[in-house]
Structure 1
Amino acid sequence: MSATTAPPAATHGKATAVFTCILAALAGLMFGLDIGVISGAQQFLQKDFGIGDDTLGWIVSIMMLGAALGALLAGWLSSQLGRKRTLILGAVLFVGGSVLCGLAWTPHVLIAGRLVLGLAIGLASFTAPLYLAEIAPESIRGAMISLYQLMITIGILVAFLSDTAFSYSGNWRWMLGVIAIPGALFLFGVGFLPESPRWLMMKDRQPEAEQVLRKLLGSNDAIAREIGEIREQLKTPQRGWHLFQQNRNFRRSVGLGVLLQVMQQLTGMNVVMYYAPRIFQDMGYATESQMWFTAIVGLVNVLATFIAIGLVDKLGRKPILYIGFVVMAIGLGVVGTMMHLGIHDHGQQIFTVVMLLVFIVGFAMSAGPLIWTLCSEIQPLKGRDFGIGCSTFTNWVANWLVGLSFLPLLNGIGQAETFWLYAAFNVVFIAFTIWLVPETKGVTLEQIERKLMAGQPLRQIGR
């Protein structure tokens, strides 16, 4: 290739790579849509079906149990079928689950539809970031993976806005069923994605891997370099279960990853995401106001995510987590106090909403994205898939338990006490961050692994 033709080829390859990654990141949009859409539908389907809070809790939370099962299957499926086919399967489940939810004729059918959506989310939450990491050129890899996280928050916001639009008619079936439309578009788009070059190399299909890289990189030198790097990586096989059994230090990193995901769920964020209209109802707002404030929650969640993206490599992981946990504890503590004292006028309503939004900012700028970052950074190479798989599974199981237990907590110990409980969890997590969480800013994965395997305390395996 001549010097005059190489730059245009490389530029075209990068443009193709960016387009491919954006299309794959839409899996995050579907993920967010399914998380957010149930929030606005609850009061309407509860009225139509005549169900209590216990059944409603299962309708809301069963999706997270399905996601845990999907995440368990995703590693095997993405290895056997390939990343692309696993994403296609996830897209099919997105569409099928959405249609089933929209047509549900009994609460049990709705629960089944939500379970199918959970399986789709579990597949997507594992496979899409993996695919993005393997397909994106190194120069844009971090941005593309961050884009996936951003797409999740945008999906939640779009779902809240859609719920608000349909709330005037009270048609919960359209709320739940309409996301089959973007699901079908995603399914159509995924069909045009190339397979992961790394997976093709794993299956001894190097010529096909080179064809994909030619579209993504353009330059022959870049293709040869990438092929060499993939071949070198594949010399280190994943032996996570064996390493977990044999090595105490690896068990420590897996345990920390599990703890971090439990911490993320016990901040109380997903309680707000799943039950926001119910929370605003308890503040005294009418249905239309509940829905619009829920949409504002989604918007604040999107905007505050940019804070984390902008600061994570400047301030570091731990300072941002400290700030986030403090802000979340204050936000939920004040919300609980206001509910305890009683919300009697419009000024007190607005103040309580503002403090709830303060809590949202605290999460979206800290524990939301950074927990996932840390869970990927602390695992040694030979056990990375196993360690991340354990932490992802824990995230969904904890998510399911939090979603299932919130309404019983409200009805059992009271509104104020429930928010105080989650505020207290955030205070405890400050201590956990001090004692256990390493600062990984500016530290290579190899340095982290060496310190971990040398037996240094977890908080010291960073810098």
Structure 2
Amino acid sequence: MKSKKVYINVIYFFGALGGLLFGYDTGVISGALIFIKEDLGLTPFMEGLVVSGVLIGALAGAAFGGTLADRIGRKKLIIWLGALFSIGAIGTGFSSNVESLVLFRIVLGVAVGGASAIVPLYLSEMAPAAIRGRVASLNTLMNALGILMAYVINYVFSSSGRWDWMLLLAIVPSLLLMVGMLFMPESPRWLLQNEREEEARRVLLLTRDSDEIDLEIKSIKALKTEEKVPLSELFSPLMRPILLVGVGVAIFQQVIGTNTIIYYTPTILIDSGIGASSAIAGTIGIGIINVLFTIIGTVLIDRLGRKMLMLIGNIGMSLALGVLGVSTLFFQAPSWLLLGCLGLFMVAYSASWGMVAWVVLAEIFPLKIRGTAIGFASTCLWLANIAVSLSFPVLLESLGSSVLFLVYAVIGIAAFLFVLKFVPETKGKSLEEIEAEITAKKSIA
């Protein structure tokens, strides 16, 4: 029994390792950018392009990742994503000009986008309903650890300015992901969807009690479809309301201000008069907060529920950004206040939207279109991410950070109202129960 529990944890660890790479490759650029700007002479637009290279690639990865996951399987696709992470890490680390740096950042982005959609999907399909929220949120915990790891690496190399090593070291977890997933099982739901019941039964036995297997297989098969579902099915009258919920959650997660915190915290602190090394050291504190409160969120998600966590998070984020905007607009805010507001934002975001959005996206869509629907919602997410990240340096130069923080605070209020009215509560329900209720046009709020 103990060996079985260990193997279960290994499955969840390697399944979530893509989240660590997602976090590292999006977080590492915050510190590296300070030195890349000096070495390559970046304009504000080129600065935004270097940051957004990952996001441009992520758009493609998210768009095709879901469909590929339905076609070749979750496990095989994650292995291929590990290979792309490795290629991107090597390419960015050895880039000698902005063109090759952006190119390989795009390659990394394809892996990031695919992982953002498929890792939560794989974890949610592997986990029992009672702990699915905690297991699926491991992706975000690993994401937070990846961001923290990036911040620490940034600080280690900040005195030398070796941004190439900051980017290159992502090769270590990417190779671990690629090799480790070779020994992990395929999603039992994907196996059943593809007429491989005996394999699905063996996989379920790894993570379930034997007396639960027949009932779960029966419930999955009851909702399985043998027909290929066209993309147009996403926009059918039955699916359209839940698709709009998924797209809304995906977009709001990106436009409530988190990208400005993760990507540009060192820049914000340097603009307030803090030195480069001290600014990067400050991000380590933000990264630690991110990890700790992501852990707290994983404990609370199956207790308080997805919806309540998102609402509480919106209140904290909007308050932090509002104070940050007002304090910097009307007077020279001290560095402790800036760090305090940044920390409050990360507390609220990490314990709520940072992980809950991915869990909700992995839960609300029916099995027959789950991969495609998550891919579509993730595409919208990365489009919003690109828009925010490309525009932020330019808007920061023209409008100033104070106005931007206030705008994001208002968007946070809009997100609160959206969740309150439209987002369903899925706590404690199996994926099949959620699907049956949606299909029957019942409320699951």
TM-score by length of 2: 0.90
The residue that corresponds to 1:337 in the other structure is 326
The residue that corresponds to 1:18 in the other structure is 9
Q: Bigger relative contact order, structure 1 or 2, given CA contacts below 8 A and separation 6+? A: 2
- What does 1:59-458 correspond to in 2, within 5 Å? 59-136=50-127, 140-206=131-197, 208-209=199-200, 212=203, 216=206, 228=218, 230-235=220-225, 239=229, 241-247=231-237, 249-343=238-332, 348-441=334-427
Q: 1:229 to 1:14 in 2, by over 3 A?
A: farther
Return the alpha-carbon distance in structure 2 between the equivalents of residues 325 and 281 of structure 1: 27
Unaligned runs of at least 5 residues, structure 1: 1-7
The DSSP-based 3-state class of the residue aligned with 2:157 is helix
Q: Is the 8 A contact 2:363 2:426 kept in 1?
A: yes
Matched, 1:31 2:22: yes
Q: 1:444 to 1:92 in 2, by over 3 A?
A: closer
Q: Residue type of the partner of 1:112?
A: L
The DSSP-based 3-state class of the residue aligned with 2:54 is helix
Q: Residue type of the partner of 2:360?
A: L
Return the alpha-carbon distance in structure 2 between the equivalents of residues 381 and 227 of structure 1: 13
Return the alpha-carbon distance in structure 1 between the equivalents of residues 266 and 399 of structure 2: 20
Q: Deviations over 1:241-285 (max 9, x none)?
A: 3433442x4212211211222111111011110111101112211
Range with greater deviation from structure 2 (437-446 or 71-80): 437-446
Q: Residue type of the partner of 2:289?
A: V
The offset of 1:436, in angstroms, is: 2.9
Q: Is the 8 A contact 1:160 1:294 kept in 2?
A: yes
Q: 1:361 to 1:211 in 2, by over 3 A?
A: closer
Return the alpha-carbon distance in structure 1 between the equivalents of residues 215 and 312 of structure 2: 41
Q: Residue type of the partner of 1:462?
A: I
Return the alpha-carbon distance in structure 2 between the equivalents of residues 321 and 222 of structure 1: 31
The number of aligned residues is: 445
TM-score by length of 1: 0.87
The DSSP-based 3-state class of the residue aligned with 1:167 is coil
* Alignment RMSD: 2.8
Return the alpha-carbon distance in structure 2 between the equivalents of residues 455 and 203 of structure 1: 27
Q: 1:253 to 1:202 in 2, by over 3 A?
A: closer
Return the alpha-carbon distance in structure 2 between the equivalents of residues 365 and 84 of structure 1: 28
The offset of 1:129, in angstroms, is: 2.4
Range with greater deviation from structure 2 (35-44 or 180-189): 180-189
Q: 1:450 to 1:199 in 2, by over 3 A?
A: closer
The offset of 1:65, in angstroms, is: 1.8
The DSSP-based 3-state class of the residue aligned with 2:318 is helix
Q: Deviations over 1:177-224 (max 9, x none)?
A: 11112222222222222333444444444555555556x269776666
Range with greater deviation from structure 2 (157-166 or 432-441): 432-441
Matched, 1:462 2:440: no
Q: Identity of aligned pairs, percent?
A: 37
The DSSP-based 3-state class of the residue aligned with 2:101 is helix
The DSSP-based 3-state class of the residue aligned with 2:26 is helix
Q: Residue type of the partner of 2:142?
A: M
Q: Is the 8 A contact 1:32 1:153 kept in 2?
A: yes
Return the alpha-carbon distance in structure 2 between the equivalents of residues 444 and 141 of structure 1: 9
Larger of the two Rg values belongs to structure: 1
Return the alpha-carbon distance in structure 2 between the equivalents of residues 98 and 426 of structure 1: 34
Unaligned runs of at least 5 residues, structure 2: none
